[in-house]
Amino acid sequence: MNQVSRPTDIPWERLGGLVGFICVVAFVFWQSAQWTWKQELERLEQQTQNELQLHMTALRGKLEKHEYLAQLLTTKEDLSLYLRPDTSSDDLQQLNLTLDSYRVISGVSDIYLMDADGWTVSASNWWRPDSFIGQNFSFRPYFQMAMAGEKGRFFGLGTTSGARGYYFSYPVYIADQVVGTLVVKIEIHAIEEPWRDPRGELLVTDADGVVFISSRPEWRLSTLTALSETELDAISDSLRYAGRVLRPLPITERQQLTPQAQRLTIRMRNEQTQEYLMLSQSMPEADWDVHMIKNLDQVRVQAIQVSLLAAAGVILLGLIWLYFHQRRRGQAEKVAWQAEAHRALQQAHDELESRVAARTADLSASNQRLLQEIQQHEQTESALRKTQRELIQTAKLAVLGQLSASINHELNQPLAALRSYAENARTFIARNKPETADSNLEQILQLTERMAEISAQLKMFSRKSGEQLVPVSVQAAAEYAMRLYAGPLAQQNVRVLLDFPEEEVFVLADMVRLEQVLVNLLSNALHALKSTPQPCLRIHAYYEHQPEKDWVVIQVWDTGPGIPSHQLDEIFDPFFTSKEPGQGLGLGLSISSRIATELNGELRAANHSGFILDAKMTPPGAVFSLYLPASYPDKCESGPSYE
């Protein structure tokens, strides 16, 4: 079959075109990034400028709110009366209470009165351990300004409390002479608390560039630039910052964008760097500079997004052009390929028809063989189910054979008693004692009823099971198994503990098959207890809740020698037995496990460390756990509580 040849080497003009297209995409990406960065930076700068104006207005409002409080209090109260040498302690205490009430009303931090030498004679915090009373603040500029007859303003760290504060002072006069100073203090953290904004940071620096107020705590008491030793010594001598070490902010790169805007790169606590846009504006009335900084990550993300969109647009246009170009080439190639394809298709059609005919014959023969195999499988499965039911019935008869000795003992005793009571009745009738003879006949009736019960139990055990699963009482099945083994249990002197819930427990099962499993488990337990000095047996049932369904767990515990660990994995195998030859076929546990599976459950074997009987712990032994689906025939919703 002829084929259309295609070149395998890439033409140089195609390679050149691809390189040129990549260069165009890169250029568009770079130009878009530059343009978007510039536009977004200008937008962010304008937004930051507006926010900075709002914050400065709010800051001025908070300071002006308390600026006239000191002057107002000096005119309202004659404070000069408390600055005289003969002022009593009771009068000063009354002033303390008055100043504290003004503090609460105005919402400031502290209000205190100092004499002409700078000693605090009365304060609103008189009751605190760090009270200002008795402290001398004559070194503070706000005291010196007030003593000069001027309003005072000052900010710094409190020498007593260590907290950042802003102080307003006003002179106290007697006639025209300044005799003291009234000071109102507001705490800075109350001012900066509303400024916390995840979209930006706010800084306030003093004339030396020290960050006094910041919405980021780790930047407080840092400097925007590195200060000289002379500047640091001057700040330390002023006691404005109480001797704190002032370190510069970890600014690794600084770029001046406009007279008010800078681009900063700051190293954060996690040693990662972060870029910010910082706008600054002076606040001359407080001798402060207010700075607003914004994270540039969003600007960078926006620039990258726009650049990617622009590059994607160029790539999309290129792909559209390539699509139409390839489509034109494809149309030309299609004409050449259609003729070749038609010839190949005709040839394949002819070959396919011959193959279909041969394959149809093979499929017909295979189908016939498959039908025969299905019929044979169904016959085999039916025979297997029949054999399994017969095997279970045979196992029941084997259990009856093992119980023959105890059954013989159970029947011989009533038969011997019947003979004795019958002979006695004849004797009493001959002696004309009908009352005594009637009593012997009554005993004979009771003995015959007992023999009938034993016969009925054996007849019930030997009956065949049904196919349909119905609610079955666990207590009733266990009591039947216990009655069937009443003789062997008594002969071996086995103590039995029946541990069931107060309410009757039901499982979805078949009564006959459930009884068969319990009888097999009791048979194994009795065999294990033969050589035990104080044999004990426990039959326990409880509910177990799992997400997919509710289960009832029926356990048979014994105090025998237990199951060797190497036999736990093979104990349910057919014909496996630890009994002496002639004592069993090794089918009981295998049949019981199979019955549990047919009842949609599971039979497990393990060893236990003992159980409590008469307030004492029994020896260890084996425990078999039968898991069956729970049934609630008398309840509409979920069953009882679980163990």
The band of 4, judged by pLDDT with boundaries at 50, 70 and 90, is very low
The band of 401, judged by pLDDT with boundaries at 50, 70 and 90, is low
Q: What is the pLDDT of residue 641?
A: 42
CB atoms within 10 A of CB 634: 9
- The residue among 464 and 616 whose pLDDT is bigger is 616
Buried b (16+ CB within 10 A) or exposed e, 110-123: bbbbbbeebbbbbb
DSSP 3-state of 424: helix
Residue 608 has which token pair? 């236990």
Query: What angle separates helix 588-598 from helix 297-402, to the nearest 10 degrees?
Result: 130
pLDDT tens per residue across span 527-548: 889 888 889 999 999 999 988 8
Per-residue pLDDT for 519 more than 80?
Answer: yes
Residues 457-478, mean pLDDT to the nearest whole number: 72
CA distance 511 to 507: 10
CA distance 530 to 589: 19
- Is residue 574 within 8 Å of 584, Cβ to Cβ? no
- Is residue 585 within 8 Å of 575, Cβ to Cβ? yes
User: CATH classification of 68-190, choosing from 3.40.50.620, 3.40.1390.10, 3.30.450.20, 1.10.10.10?
Assistant: 3.30.450.20
Per-residue pLDDT for 382 more than 50?
Answer: yes
Q: What is the pLDDT of residue 640?
A: 47
Per-residue pLDDT for 639 more than 50?
Answer: no
Residues 511-519, mean pLDDT to the nearest whole number: 86
Q: Does domain 467-631 have CATH number 3.30.565.10?
A: yes
Per-residue pLDDT for 42 more than 70?
Answer: yes
pLDDT tens per residue across span 306-341: 778 877 887 888 788 878 877 888 888 888 888 788
Residues 92-98, mean pLDDT to the nearest whole number: 89
> Which long-range contacts link 150-153 to residues 24+ away (Cβ below 8 Å)?
151/67, 151/70, 151/71, 152/181, 152/183, 153/67, 153/286
Residues 6+ apart with CB under 8 A from 405: none
Residue 624 has which token pair? 């078999």
pLDDT tens per residue across span 370-381: 888 888 877 777
CB atoms within 10 A of CB 174: 14
Single out the residue of 361, 395, 401, 537 nearest to residue 464, CA to CA.
Answer: 395
User: What percent of the chain has a predicted confidence (pLDDT) above 70?
Assistant: 82
Residue 434 has which token pair? 């009908």
CA distance 578 to 557: 18
Please give the CATH architecture assigned to the domain spanning 199-296: 2-Layer Sandwich (3.30)
pTM recorded for the entire structure: 0.42
Per-residue pLDDT for 463 more than 60?
Answer: no
Q: What is the pLDDT of residue 508?
A: 93
Per-residue pLDDT for 213 more than 90?
Answer: no
Alpha carbon distances (Å) from 471 to 474, 556, 628: 9, 21, 11
Q: Does 199-296 match 467-631 in CATH topology?
A: no
- Is residue 310 within 8 Å of 29, Cβ to Cβ? yes
DSSP 3-state of 113: strand
> Can you give the residue ranges of every domain in the chain?
68-190, 199-296, 403-463, 467-631
The band of 130, judged by pLDDT with boundaries at 50, 70 and 90, is confident
CA distance 13 to 325: 15
CA distance 216 to 225: 18
User: What percent of the chain has a predicted confidence (pLDDT) above 90?
Assistant: 13
CA distance 595 to 521: 13
DSSP 3-state of 625: strand
pLDDT tens per residue across span 419-452: 656 766 777 787 777 777 777 676 676 557 556 5
